[in-house]
C-alpha cells in the first residue's frame, strides 16, 4: 500500500477562473519548499495535489513543512490502494489500528461512477470488515474520527487523519506589496498575514543612524529569516531617513512631528512602490493603538498617496497580535531592545487629531522633495533568503 499526502486547496472554490493559476502556483511553491526532502513523488491534479511518500520520506517533517505553505486548507495522510473493496477494507483497518479512535464512521466519495458498489454499500462493507477484525465501534452521528474513502479512476484513497493548513492563497498569486517593516512586534505579523493572503512581501525600512542603531538591521534580517518559511526570498530595502527626520524636527512644531514624519514615510513608500513595481503598500498599523493610528491621523497621513494601503492588523487586539507573533516565531526577535525612529523622536504630546491643512502648512516650511529623492536614490536592496539553509 502506498502512503500519500492529499493536499486540499484553500479558498479555491470561489475562484473558478483562477483555478489553474492557483494550482500551478501552489505546486511550484510546494516543490520549492520541499526541494531538499527525500523520498517524495508529486502529482498535480484538478482536485488535489498528491504527494507520494516513499520509504525514505520523513512523514512528520513533510507534514510540518506543508503546514507552513499558504494556499493549503488541509492535508490528509492516506493510503492509496487498488479500487477494490478488499484492498480498501484492509487499508481502512490498518488506519483504525494505527490511530485507535474511540468511535468512527466511514464516509465514501465516488468520483469514479464505474465502481461497482455505491457509496452506502462501500461504507457498510468496510464497516463490516473492520468490525469483524476488532476495530473500535462505529458511531454514525458523532464519531471521534471519520474514515474518508475516495474512489477515483486511478485507485482509492483512504484516510483517517487530517492536518490543518494555513489557508489563504499560494504565495505570489495576488501580486507584490511594499510593506513597511519596523523592528517592532506588529509589522512582522502584518507581513505574515499578507503572505498568507498570497501576497509577496517586499520589506521597506526607515533607518535614522546614528539616532537608531545599525543593530536593528540584523534584527530585521533575523525576522525575515523566520518569515522565509512562508516566503523563501524577501527583498529588504533600507531607506536613509536621518536627514528628513532632522529637517522635520527643525521646522515642524512638536505635536505635528509624528504626523509629518509618517506622511514623509508614505511618500517614500509610494516612490519605493513605483520603483519596485508594487501596486500597494502595507503597514502594521492597528486602529487606536497609538496617537498616529487614530482615524483622524490615518486620514491625514493617508492623504499624501493614492496607493491602496493594506493594514492587515487594523482591527486586531495587541494580545492577539502578540499571540500570533509567538506562534510564528518573530516575537522573541521583536522584543530585543531597539530604538525605532518613531520612538526616538516621540513628542511628549502628539496630536491625536491632526488636520490635513495644518500638516500641509508645516510641510511648506521646508523643501522636502529633494530630500525624498536623495533618500530613495540611496535606498539599499538586499535579498534575505532561505536558500543557504
Ligand atoms: P510595530 O510593532 O510594527 O513597530 P507599532 O505599534 O510600534 O508597530 P508604530 O511605530 O506607530 O507602531 O508604527 C506603525 C507602522 O508603521 C508599523 O507597523 C510599520 O508598518 C511602520 N513603521 C514604523 N516605523 C517604521 C520604520 N522605522 N521603518 C519602516 N516602517 C515603520
Ligand atoms: Mg514601531
208 in contact with ligand 1, CB cutoff 6 A:
no
219 in contact with ligand 1, CB cutoff 6 A:
no
User: pTM of the full predicted structure?
Assistant: 0.91
The reported pLDDT for the residue numbered 37 is: 96
18-53 pLDDT tens trace: 888 899 999 999 999 999 999 999 999 888 999 999
206 in contact with ligand 1, CB cutoff 6 A:
yes
Q: How far apart are CA 93 and CA 335, in angstroms?
A: 50
The reported pLDDT for the residue numbered 341 is: 63
Q: Is the CB of residue 186 less than 8 Å from the CB of residue 321?
A: yes
Distance from the alpha carbon of residue 211 to the mean position of ligand 1, in angstroms: 16
Mutate to test the pocket of ligand 1, among 179, 181, 184 (most ligand atoms within 8 A of CB): 184
> Which of the ligands is closest to the CA of residue 212?
1
User: Is the model's pLDDT at 141 over the cut of 70?
Assistant: yes
User: Is the model's pLDDT at 191 over the cut of 50?
Assistant: yes
At the topology level, CATH places domain 2-164 in VC0802-like (3.30.2130)
Of 291, 271, 299, 312, nearest in space to 358 by CA: 299
Q: Which CA distances in Å does 36 have to 165, 173, 367, 382?
A: 21, 23, 53, 24
The reported pLDDT for the residue numbered 344 is: 63
User: For 264-289, what is the mean pLDDT?
Assistant: 96
Higher pLDDT, 375 or 99: 375
Task: Please name every residue paired with 385 in a beta bridge, in sequence order, or none if there are none.
Answer: 233
Distance from the alpha carbon of residue 331 to the mean position of ligand 2, in angstroms: 13
194-204 pLDDT tens trace: 999 999 999 99
Q: What's the CATH code, domain 176-388?
A: 3.40.50.620
**DSSP character string of 93-145:** HHHHHHH--SSEEEEEEES-TTSSS-HHHHHHHHHHHHHTTTPPPB-SSS-SE
The reported pLDDT for the residue numbered 342 is: 62
Name which residue sits closest to atom 4 of ligand 1, judged by CA: 184
Domain limits of the chain?
A: 2-164, 176-388
The reported pLDDT for the residue numbered 122 is: 95
185 in contact with ligand 1, CB cutoff 6 A:
yes
Distance from the alpha carbon of residue 98 to the mean position of ligand 2, in angstroms: 49
Index of the ligand 1 atom closest to the CA of residue 289: 6
Q: Distance between terminal CA atoms of the chain?
A: 33
The reported pLDDT for the residue numbered 388 is: 54
Mutate to test the pocket of ligand 1, among 207, 284, 324, 330 (most ligand atoms within 8 A of CB): 284
User: For 12-23, what is the mean pLDDT?
Assistant: 75
> Which of the ligands is closest to the CA of residue 321?
1
216-237 pLDDT tens trace: 999 999 999 999 999 999 999 9
User: Is the model's pLDDT at 347 over the cut of 90?
Assistant: no
Q: How far apart are CA 204 and CA 380, in angstroms?
A: 10
Which of 109-113, 211-215, 282-286, 290-294 ranks highest by mean pLDDT?
282-286
Name which residue sits closest to atom 18 of ligand 1, judged by CA: 284
The reported pLDDT for the residue numbered 389 is: 42
The helix/strand/coil state of 370 is helix
Distance from the alpha carbon of residue 341 to the mean position of ligand 2, in angstroms: 8
User: Is the model's pLDDT at 297 over the cut of 50?
Assistant: yes
Mutate to test the pocket of ligand 1, among 182, 224, 261 (most ligand atoms within 8 A of CB): 182
Name which residue sits closest to atom 22 of ligand 1, judged by CA: 182
Task: Give the chain's mean pLDDT.
Answer: 93
294 in contact with ligand 1, CB cutoff 6 A:
no
266 in contact with ligand 1, CB cutoff 6 A:
no
Amino acid at each position: 500500500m502506498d502512503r500519500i499526502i492529499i493536499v486540499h486547496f484553500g479558498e479555491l472554490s470561489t475562484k473558478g477562473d483562477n483555478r489553474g493559476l492557483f494550482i500551478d502556483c501552489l505546486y511550484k511553491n510546494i516543490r520549492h519548499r520541499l526541494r531538499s526532502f527525500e523520498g517524495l513523488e508529486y502529482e498535480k491534479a484538478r482536485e488535489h495535489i498528491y504527494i507520494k511518500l516513499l520509504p525514505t520520506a520523513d512523514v512528520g517533517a513533510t507534514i510540518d513543512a506543508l503546514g507552513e505553505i499558504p494556499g493549503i486548507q488541509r492535508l490528509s495522510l492516506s493510503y492509496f490502494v487498488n479500487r477494490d473493496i478488499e484492498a480498501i477494507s484492509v487499508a481502512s483497518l490498518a488506519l483504525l489500528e494505527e490511530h485507535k479512535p474511540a468511535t468512527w464512521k466511514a464516509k465514501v466519495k465516488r468520483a469514479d461512477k464505474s465502481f461497482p458498489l455505491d457509496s452506502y454499500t462501500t461504507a457498510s462493507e468496510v464497516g463490516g470488515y473492520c468490525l469483524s477484525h476488532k476495530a473500535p465501534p462505529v458511531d454514525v452521528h458523532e464519531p471521534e474520527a471519520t474514515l474518508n474513502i475516495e474512489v477515483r479512476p486511478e485507485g482509492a484513497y483512504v484516510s483517517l487523519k487530517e492536518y490543518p493548513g494555513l489557508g489563504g492563497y499560494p504565495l505570489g498569486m495576488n501580486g507584490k506589496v511594499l510593506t513597511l517593516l519596523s523592528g517592532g512586534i506588529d509589522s512582522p505579523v502584518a507581513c505574515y498575514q499578507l503572505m498568507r493572503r498570497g501576497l509577496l512581501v517586499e520589506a521597506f525600512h526607515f533607518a535614522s543612524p546614528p539616532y537608531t542603531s545599525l543593530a536593528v538591521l540584523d534584527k530585521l534580517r533575523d525576522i525575515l529569516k523566520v518569515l522565509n518559511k512562508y516566503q523563501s526570498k524577501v527583498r529588504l530595502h533600507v531607506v536613509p531617513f536621518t536627514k528628513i527626520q532632522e529637517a522635520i524636527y527643525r521646522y515642524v512644531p512638536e505635536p505635528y512631528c509624528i504626523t509629518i514624519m509618517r506622511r514623509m514615510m508614505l511618500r517614500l513608500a509610494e516612490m519605493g512602490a513605483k520603483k519596485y513595481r508594487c501596486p500597494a503598500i502595507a503597514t502594521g498599523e492597528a486602529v487606536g493603538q497609538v496617537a498616529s493610528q487614530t482615524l483622524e491621523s490615518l486620514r491625514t497621513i493617508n492623504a499624501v498617496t493614492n496607493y491602496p494601503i493594506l493594514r492587515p492588523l487594523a482591527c486586531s487586539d495587541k494580545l492577539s497580535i502578540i499571540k500570533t507573533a509567538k506562534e510564528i516565531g518573530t516575537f522573541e526577535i521583536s522584543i530585543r531592545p531597539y530604538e525605532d525612529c518613531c520612538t526616538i523622536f516621540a513628542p511628549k504630546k502628539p496630536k491625536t487629531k491632526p488636520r490635513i491643512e495644518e500638516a500641509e502648512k508645516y510641510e511648506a516650511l521646508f523643501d522636502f522633495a529633494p530630500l525624498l529623492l536623495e533618500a530613495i536614490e540611496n535606498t539599499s536592496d538586499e535579498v534575505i533568503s532561505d536558500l543557504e539553509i
